[in-house]
Every structure is written in C-alpha cells, then in structure tokens.
Amino acid sequence: MGHAIVQKAQIPFGKSLEESQKLLNQTSAALVMMQSQPLDLPTIENIAGILNSVVSGQLLSLSEICAVQRTLRVLNNVWKKLTGAAELNEDSLQRY
C-alpha cells in the first residue's frame, strides 16, 4: 500500500536499500540544517549573465568579479554545512 502511495504521489525513493538510505540521510541532513543553522541563501547572486560574458570572451569588471567571488564563497559555505550535516546523520542514523 505504501509503495502505491509513493508511486502515485511521485515521491522519489531509492532503487535499492542503500540508495533509499542515502536519500533518507540527505533529507534528514537538510532538515537538521534548516532547524539548527540558517543557510545564507538570500545572499547568493544570479551570476548567469556574468558567466555568459566570460564564456563569450569578454573581460569582467571588478564588480562582476566580486559578485562571482561572493557567490562562490556563500555556495562553498552552504556546501560545507550540508556535507557536514550529512556525515553526522550517516554516522548517527540507522534506519534499517
């Protein structure tokens, strides 16, 4: 019955026990992150236009370089927090 509900709701689940465990750990890590320490997501800038300029061979202005630096710094910090929380959850959670 639960499997049918998941299929109808199109909720992702793993194709194996290990994949399901990984998905559950990722979900738990995200929940822990949201509850314990806020992520600095509002400061992430849309740098798509800047990246398009770089790809087309244009030189960037100092403000554009700084925007890329700020965005990469924030994303790096978010990534470290998420991977750290995922590692903690993998060590402490045994679901099966």
Give mean pLDDT, residues 30-53: 82
pLDDT for 74 beyond 80: yes
Q: Is residue 74 within 8 Å of 44, Cβ to Cβ?
A: yes
Percent residues over pLDDT 70 in the chain: 74
| pTM check: above 0.75 | no
Determine the residue type at 77. N
**In this structure, how many other beta carbons lie within 10 angstroms of the beta carbon of residue 88?**
14
The C-alpha atoms of residue 82 and residue 86 are separated, in whole angstroms, by 6
Query: 């398009």: which residue's tokens?
Result: 52
Q: What is the mean pLDDT of residues 64-90?
A: 83
At 55, is the pLDDT very low, low, confident or very high (cuts 50, 70, 90)?
Answer: very high
Averaged confidence pLDDT in the chain: 78
